Structures are given as structure tokens and as C-alpha cells.
Amino acid sequence: MTDHVTRVLREDELRAANTLFRATLHVGPPSDDEWDRLRPAYQPGRTLGVFDDALIGTARSLDAELTVTGGRAVPLAAVTGVGVRADRTRRGVLTELMRAQLADLTERGVVAATLHASEGLIYGRFGYGVATVARACTVRRRLARLRPEVPAGGEVELLGADDPLGSLRETYAALPRRAGMMSRPEPWWRGAEVYLRRGDEPLVAAVHHGTGGPDGFVLYRVSRTPGAPATLRVIDLHYADAEAFAGLWRFLLNVDLVDDIEVEERPVDEPVELLFTDPRACRVTAAGDEIWLRLVDVPAALATREWHGEPLVVEVDDPMLAGNTGRYHVGPGGARRTEEPPDLRLGVDALAMVYLGAWRPSALAHVGRAWLAGEDAAARADRLFGARTQAWCGTFF
Ligand SMILES: CC(=O)SCCNC(=O)CCNC(=O)[C@H](O)C(C)(C)COP(=O)(O)OP(=O)(O)OC[C@H]1O[C@@H](n2cnc3c(N)ncnc32)[C@H](O)[C@@H]1OP(=O)(O)O
């Protein structure tokens, strides 16, 4: 790309970035009032812009932490707000933004970047891979009877309508995190306050109280359109344990004047259908990629995750961040660089797909996305990268 400038945007340029991003999603600009409320969602110094005679492309991120397999966390950039002006696409503007963003993340010691992709063809070329998968379900409330052995759960309390998100910050921060989950920094909450308040139906927040205090919550809206099933849409649902999971579902099933309960982007191993005497009261309506992951610092990422079974030599190729390219001896004792011959060879995008256990290395080898030295290497690699629970993010950004 020539005759372009790529740089971090100043505070007074952020509204233009927001307007541009929304236009790429076919959404109109923010009103003065909305922008006042959205501004704190932009973390200072984290929004990039590309200019020719005007701003033509933008991408931003939030600093957070990503929990990885085994429970430790790494510095994360949650990437969002990516857009290129419609009359300037397909001439390398996004490529320039991704290059500048990855360079900045590397310099700041960020280990991983994640994003929700608007389309599946965009981000693989920049080293991102599908690292968590999720599903959507519809529960037919009037058919759904809880099985007798389902835990009783605790009390569920509705939060005040004027500040429904108020106390959820602390509740979320105190919950245990599975691999793939992220911390929710203050700018994330400020953005969520704006996005969640859009729409006509009121936003409802309810907190579950366990023996030790608040240990789960649900955010939802109910839409009742004449001629259509009255639908309760769950927007956010998190809980610490089986009691809170059951308690929150008991509560949802008891909300009156509702036919269907819809949940989206839920972990694929969350046993919703197993709560019911008739498991078909819960119908899976969609499944697919949730989070795309880019390992920015491969040595640090490999050193932080928990590994199972016997060690393996993994050869990684990273065309964009050459410092990641190389061979790593990876096992329960940790990860270090090596010159030994590889058992598993893959690109950094494919490494992201196995890193949190969403895919098995042998499945990637099956479709030519990875190379394994043989059957024994395949069995060891699948064990090494295995995870006890399915990775899941559960935070939209
Ligand atoms: C995390 C998020 O914010 S997700 C939201 C992403 N934003 C959107 O979807 C908004 C609408 N789309 C856009 O703004 C733009 O089309 C973008 C940002 C997706 C791509 O920007 P561009 O500047 O056109 O990308 P760029 O020119 O750098 O493309 C690089 C390569 O990716 C390909 N590519 C880019 N976008 C797409 C796409 N949507 N579908 C298929 N291929 C694509 C290009 O063809 C090009 O391939 P090539 O190198 O083989 O020629």
C-alpha cells in the first residue's frame, strides 16, 4: 500500500472511527448522546486508523486477560471495531491494520489476540484460527420439566431496572473461568451498557445467590409479538457451579408468559438438554465458530498452558511474526525451543485451533492443515493438546 498513513488515533478522532466502523456494518452514526456514553468503551491508545485523504480504515482492541487450558491467564488483546470504507476495500487496508496491530501487540508483550469474525474468510491469513466453538439452543418452556435429580439451586433475585449491570462486574470477576474466557475490563462494561440498552424490550438482570453469595447471573429480554411464540432471549449467562446453573435455569423456566427460551453462543458441552425429562424440549438450532485466536507470542503461550501425557516436538510456521517460527519441545514439564526433528508441524493459525483444545491435531492433519510424524505422534499429540472441558469465551466484544 502506498500513500497511506497508519497510526494510533487521537481521542478527538475516535468518534470518526466509530462512525466508519458502523458504516461498514451498515449502521448509522451515533447520536451525540450515544457517543458520550460510548466514548469510555474506547481504551485510550488502542484504536488504529488508516488515512489517505480521510480516515478509510480502523481497528481497535481492549486489554484483558485470557484464561488458557489449566487455568492460568495470559495478556490478551480483544480485537474489535474492524472496518474499511466500502470504496477502499480490497486494496490492502485491513492487511496494513493487522500488521500494525500485531506489531504493537508484540512490542507491548501481549501474548494472544481474539476476535469474533463477521465472516469466516477474513482472518485466517493473519494467523487467526477458530479456537472455540459454541451452539445455540431453543428450550420449549411448556414442555421442559426438570428431572428430579437436578440440584435445587439457590435464590434468584432481580436487579433494579435503572442499573441492571451495576453489580455484575464484581459477580463476573469472582466466577471461575474455563479456558477461552476473558476478563471484562471497565471499557468492555461501558460498551456493553450502551449495546445492551438498545432495543425496545426491557433488559432484565437476575443474580443467583449460592451459599457464599452471588455466584451466577443471567441477562435477558422477552419479546411478545402477536402471532409469534413469546420468546425469552438470554443475552449473558454465567455461573460458578452446578447449583447456580440449575438455579438459574429453574428461574428462567418459571418466568411467566414465555413459550420459548433461546440461548446463543453457549459452550457445546453445557448440559442444558440433560436438565429435562424430555431432552428434546431443548433443540440445538445452530453451532459454529465463536472465538478466533491469534497467538502473538507463541513461546509464552506454549509455556503457560497445561499439557498432558508425553512431550512432543512441535514445529510452528508464522509468516507474519517470524519470531514465532521454530521448533518447540512441549510437554507437562513446560515448553522450550529445540532443534530436534518435529512430531507435529503446523501453521500458527492451526496452532491456535488446537491450543485451547477445540480441535484435535489429528483432525487438522486429516484435512491437511497439520502434519504428524505417524500414528504414534498423532495419538500423543491428541493427548498433549487435550482439554477436560470445552473451551468457551462467553463474552461478546
Ligand atoms: C473483529 C471485527 O471487528 S469483525 C468485523 C469486520 N468488518 C466487517 O465485516 C465490515 C465490512 N468489511 C470490511 O470493512 C472490509 O471488507 C474488511 C475489513 C473485512 C476487509 O478489508 P480490506 O481492506 O478489503 O482487506 P484487504 O484488502 O487487506 O484484504 C486482504 C485479503 O483478504 C481478502 N478479504 C478481505 N476481506 C474479505 C472478505 N470479507 N471475504 C473474503 N476475502 C476477504 C482480500 O480479498 C485479500 O485477499 P488477497 O490478498 O488474496 O487479495
Pocket of ligand 1 contains residue 26 by CB under 6 Å:
no
Q: Which atom of ligand 1 is nearest to the CA of 117?
A: 4
Q: Is the CB of 117 under 6 A from ligand 1?
A: yes
- DSSP 8-state code for residue 367: T
Query: Cα separations (Å) of 343 from 129, 158, 310, 396?
Result: 21, 54, 12, 36
Which residue's alpha carbon is at the smallest distance from atom 34 of ligand 1? 122
List the chain pLDDT tens, one digit each, 397 residues: 668 999 999 999 999 999 999 999 999 999 999 999 999 999 999 999 999 999 999 999 999 999 999 999 999 999 999 999 999 999 999 999 999 999 999 999 999 999 999 999 999 999 999 999 999 999 999 999 999 999 999 999 999 877 778 889 999 999 999 999 999 999 999 999 998 888 889 999 999 999 999 999 999 999 999 999 999 999 999 999 999 999 999 999 999 999 999 999 999 999 999 999 999 999 999 999 999 999 999 999 999 999 999 999 999 999 999 999 999 999 999 999 999 999 999 999 999 999 999 999 999 999 999 999 999 999 999 999 999 999 999 999 9
- Kindly give the distance from the C-alpha atom of residue 90 to the centroid of ligand 1, in angstroms, as a whole number: 7
What are the E-state strand segments in 15-164? 47-51, 55-67, 73-84, 112-115, 129-140, 155-158
Q: Is 397 tagged catalytic?
A: yes
Catalytic residue among 42, 123, 126, 355: 123
pTM for this structure?
0.97
Structure-derived torsion over alpha carbons of residues 137, 140, 144, 150, reported in degrees to the nearest 10:
30
User: Ligand 1 centre and the CA of 113: distance in Å?
Assistant: 18
Distance CA(380)–CA(365), nearest Å, equals: 13
The pLDDT of residue 1 is 64
What distance in angstroms lies between residue 315's CA and the mean position of ligand 1's atoms?
29
Instruction: State the complex-level ipTM.
Output: 0.98
Q: Is 384 in the pocket of ligand 1 (CB under 6 A)?
A: no
Q: Check if 355 is active-site.
A: no
> What domains can be seen in the chain, in order of their start residue?
5-132 (3.40.630.30), 134-287 (3.40.630.30), 306-385 (3.30.1050.10)
CA of 94 from ligand 1 middle (Å) equals: 6
Which of 42, 79, 82 is the best mutation target for the ligand 1 pocket, counting ligand atoms within 8 Å of the beta carbon and taking the most?
A: 82
Which grid coordinates belong to 136?
445455540
Residues 6+ apart with CB under 8 A from 256: none
Taking the C-alpha atoms of residue 165 and residue 150, their distance in angstroms, rounded to an integer, is 28
Per the CB < 8 A criterion, the answer to whether 306 and 376 are in contact is no
- Pick out the residues of the known binding site for acetyl-CoA: 82-84, 90-95, 118-119
Beta bridge partners of 7: 49
